[in-house]
Chains A and B, each alone.
Chain A
Amino acid sequence: MRTVVVTDAVREVDGRVDGDRLLIPSDALAGATGWELKPQGLCRGDVCVPVGDTDGLLVDGMIDLASLGAALHWPTVVDAPEGVAAMTEPAADRAAVLAALEAPDFTLPDLDGNPVTFSTFTGKKKLLVAWASW
């Protein structure tokens, strides 16, 4: 079934519901989440997280998204019946970046839909303003 996985972006994969579990193909894991399952554990870039219970993570060769979140210690919400899951960075990781006073880079659409990358403005002082219509 069409499965939506939201991390730092919204991605769609062809997943499967198994009871209250939401499974995605292991070869779709990297594309959907940025994480790869390797012999040394779950890896993203230079970071690898050892995985103890691979049985919980792998179900019929597919990745169980709730177990993935648990293995990574990433706050994770899985709505299996609806085929939607979202994962966020652990607070400690986010806090480390913010406390180091490093501005994170991001790319978002302008009002015409053109992507704008914040780091394009490196070299200028920025007043970043978050606002809303509501």
Chain B
Amino acid sequence: MFAIAVDESADHARPWVEEGKCTFPVVYDRDRVAVEALGIINVPTVLWIDEHNRIVRPQDAQFPNDNLIAFHGRASEGHLDALRRWVRDGEAPLTSDEARAGARLPSDDEQLARAHFRVGVQLLRADKREAALAHFETAGELSPIDWTIRRAAIALRGDDPFFSPEFIEMFQGWQEAGRPGYNLA
């Protein structure tokens, strides 16, 4: 396993890493470098990457257990079984054509949203809150379904990422858009 915390600081990620007693590498991506490179728009998102750094299962939301299944509706068992078969038996989860078809590709608006988000976090780090929030707002308008931007921005500005009105509105819009980021069966 290789884990990327889509978080502003190591301290945000640390409590989870310590509680999970993680023995695998955990890095954090405050500027969304790997998030953008991998086209990630939600968390938790997994990709399966083989020995030759080929993506054999593209980005997709999956969960380690069913604790929050009422919220997300994604049972973990099928994914975890397939993962074991890939690791132990080398059974590919998808053909190359299926993996290509399942890859979610970004739009220019989504890329521009990432640029606005990056300007926003720079400004927030420099205590220029008002200017930062304006960029977060524009980013959210350009890419309303990107949780790594919109939900992260709710948390960054100090609001509740679970129960704030903006998250509830975002969640509804995301569902109406067909739950982007939940790519594969």
Q: Which residues of the other chain, A, contact B40 by a CB distance below 8 angstroms?
A: 130
Partner of A95, one of B6, B106, B123: B106
Nearest chain-A residue to B160 (Cβ)? A134
Please report the C-alpha to C-alpha distance between residue A51 and residue B118 in the assembled complex, in whole angstroms: 26
Q: Are B51 and A82 in contact (CB under 8 A)?
A: no
How far does the Cβ of A76 sit from chain B's closest Cβ, in whole Å? 6
Please report the C-alpha to C-alpha distance between residue A111 and residue B161 in the assembled complex, in whole angstroms: 23
CB interface residues, B 62-110, toward A, < 8 Å: 83, 86-87, 96, 99-100, 103-108, 110
Label chain A's interface by main secondary structure.
mixed
**Is A113 part of the binding interface, using a Cβ–Cβ cutoff of 8 Å?**
yes
Q: Are A130 and B161 in contact (CB under 8 A)?
A: no
Q: Which residues of the other chain, A, contact B15 by a CB distance below 8 angstroms?
A: 133
Q: Are A111 and B107 in contact (CB under 8 A)?
A: no
Q: Which residues of the other chain, A, contact B105 by a CB distance below 8 angstroms?
A: 91, 94-95, 98-99
**Is A62 part of the binding interface, using a Cβ–Cβ cutoff of 8 Å?**
no
B: which residues have CB within 8 A of A? Answer: 1-7, 10, 12-17, 25-29, 31, 33-40, 43-56, 58, 83, 86-87, 96, 99-100, 103-108, 110-112, 114-116, 118-119, 122-123, 126, 128, 131, 135, 148, 151-152, 154-155, 161
Please report the C-alpha to C-alpha distance between residue A125 and residue B47 in the assembled complex, in whole angstroms: 11
Q: Are A101 and B131 in contact (CB under 8 A)?
A: no
Please report the C-alpha to C-alpha distance between residue A112 and residue B111 in the assembled complex, in whole angstroms: 30
Q: A-B pairs with CB below 8 Å: how many?
A: 215
Q: Are B83 and A88 in contact (CB under 8 A)?
A: no
How far does the Cβ of B85 sit from chain A's closest Cβ, in whole Å? 12
How far does the Cβ of B2 sit from chain A's closest Cβ, in whole Å? 5
How far does the Cβ of B73 sit from chain A's closest Cβ, in whole Å? 18
Q: Are A9 and B33 in contact (CB under 8 A)?
A: yes
| Segment from A29-37, A38-46, A53-61, A115-123 that makes contact with B | A115-123
**Is A132 part of the binding interface, using a Cβ–Cβ cutoff of 8 Å?**
yes
- Evaluate whether A88 and B5 lie within 8 angstroms (CB atoms) in the complex, with A9-B31, A134-B155 already known: no
User: 3 smallest A-B Cβ distances: which pairs?
Assistant: A134-B155, A95-B105, A108-B27
Q: Which residues of the other chain, A, contact B112 by a CB distance below 8 angstroms?
A: 75-77, 88
Q: Which residues of the other chain, B, contact A98 by a CB distance below 8 angstroms?
A: 38-39, 55, 58, 103-106
